[in-house]
Amino acid sequence: MSSNLAKNSILTLLANLSFSLTNWLLLVVIAKVYDAAFLGQFVLALSILSPVFLLSSLKLRTLIVVDVDTEYSIEQYLGTRLLLSSIGLILSILLGISFFNNVSFSLLLLIGVYKWCDSWCELFYAYYHRIGRFDTATFSQCGRSVLSMSVILIIALISDSAILMVSGWVATTVVFSIVDTVIFTNLRRRGESVSTNWISLLSVQYAVRTPLRILKKYYTLSISLVVGALFVYIPNFVIEKYSGIEAAGEFAAVSYFLIAGGLLIHSVSQASSPRLAVFAKQENWKGLITLTFKMCLIGAAIGVSGVIVALVAGKFFLELFYNPEIALLSEELTWVLVAAAIRYIYIFIGTAMNALKQFHTQTYIYAVGTLCVLVACLFWVPEYGSLGAAKAMVFATCMECILFGFFFWRNVKIKEKAHD
């Protein structure tokens, strides 16, 4: 089992690494080839759309993996995603054009389409993981990333249109949403001898009743995801308010290292999630705690390594990858990576709490963290600018880490006593 976990972790790590590299390359190209104003628009558009799509996601990717008793069919999950993602697309665009006049409608629409297709592919990756086909998920994600990076670089070389470059990035995701649909259909037919009834997704049962039932039961998961994501996006909004859209874009380019590292950590957590779910079902609390502790050590090691690199060569790498203006934020980079190191530890505790189905608790913890980063940003950004935002992130992650550790330990002890 340990060898399978290691193999699956490597495959998932490779897939998520390719995904994060694609998105990071997009920021690099915008910063180097295009202007700071477009970078700011792009960042604000993501900051608007991402929380809305997380709210509509219901964390179905996790539910599919931990649903070992098959409470809902795959068609029910797909129908739920189809409805809620479509609603999310409409709401996010309306929100953007209503409250953010400095972000173009075309950019909002493009990123909205990207988010819709990406959320569709996400369910297929979760299904591949549940049936142990990590190789299929990795092949699809890496293929999509390679094509996306190629398109981004080619358009950046031949065109001075940033919108055209973003359009190419979106188009590759649209193509792979179709490719993954075909792969999923064939894999399910061969592996389970079941033909997916796509027409049924438009029925009242799958398109309305089931989504509402799942929404009622698991809406707190979406709230947890949103408040957790706002931790990253709130600093962008506050900086835009006090320092301008260009400053928001530059800080987002720096803080993306926290997001990219988080994707790597999540790749390991996704690979360990099925095993943690089995431990929880078997009430093997010692195994659950031991695996969680080992994963936390991995997160800490990755986080500390990032901080050391930032201290030694942060300014050099920022100028190398972005531009001299963003390189001036090297101190902000160090503080952001300190926050990342703390967050990488408790991400695994959250994965273990998912296995225990302690979803409500995580919502409250992330709400506290989001409130902390908001209040700290409002106090520190007007005086210290983006450095204040970076320090606010460290303060908030410290609070979240303490709360995650406390509630996880308490929940396990309660279950141990109930078992005895």
Contact 238, 389 (CB under 8 A): yes
Contact 89, 112 (CB under 8 A): yes
Residues with Cβ within 8 Å of residue 67, at least 6 apart in sequence: 130
| pLDDT at residue 390 in the model | 96
Residues with Cβ within 8 Å of residue 305, at least 6 apart in sequence: none
pLDDT, averaged per 10 consecutive residues of the chain (420 residues), comes to: 66 82 90 88 88 82 72 80 87 82 88 93 88 88 94 94 95 95 87 70 67 74 76 91 90 85 72 73 75 85 92 92 90 94 88 76 86 95 94 95 88 69
Handedness of CA 60, 66, 71, 72 (dihedral sign): positive
Give the domain extent around 297: 2-419
**DSSP 8-state symbol, 71:** S
Contact 369, 398 (CB under 8 A): no
| pLDDT at residue 356 in the model | 75
Report how far Cα 297 is from the mean position of its chain's Cα atoms: 21
Mapped onto helix, strand or coil, the DSSP state of residue 161 is: coil
| pLDDT at residue 175 in the model | 96
Residue 262: closest CA among 303, 225, 294: 303
Mapped onto helix, strand or coil, the DSSP state of residue 208 is: helix
- How many CA atoms within 13 Å lie on the side-chain side of 65? 27
| pLDDT at residue 351 in the model | 80
> Which own/partner pairs from 246-249 qualify as long-range (CB within 8 Å, at least 24 positions apart)?
246/36, 246/37, 246/39, 246/40, 247/40, 247/385, 247/386, 248/40, 248/43, 248/44, 249/31, 249/36, 249/37, 249/39, 249/40, 249/41, 249/42, 249/43, 249/44
Residues with Cβ within 8 Å of residue 193, at least 6 apart in sequence: none
Rounded to an integer, what distance in angstroms lies between the CA atom of residue 219 and that of residue 163? 35
Contact 329, 254 (CB under 8 A): yes
Domain count, the chain: 1
Residues with Cβ within 8 Å of residue 324, at least 6 apart in sequence: none
| pLDDT at residue 277 in the model | 74
| pLDDT at residue 270 in the model | 67
How far is the CA of 169 from the CAs of 23, 132, 298, in angstroms? Answer: 9, 29, 32
- Element (DSSP H or E) covering residue 192: helix 162-192
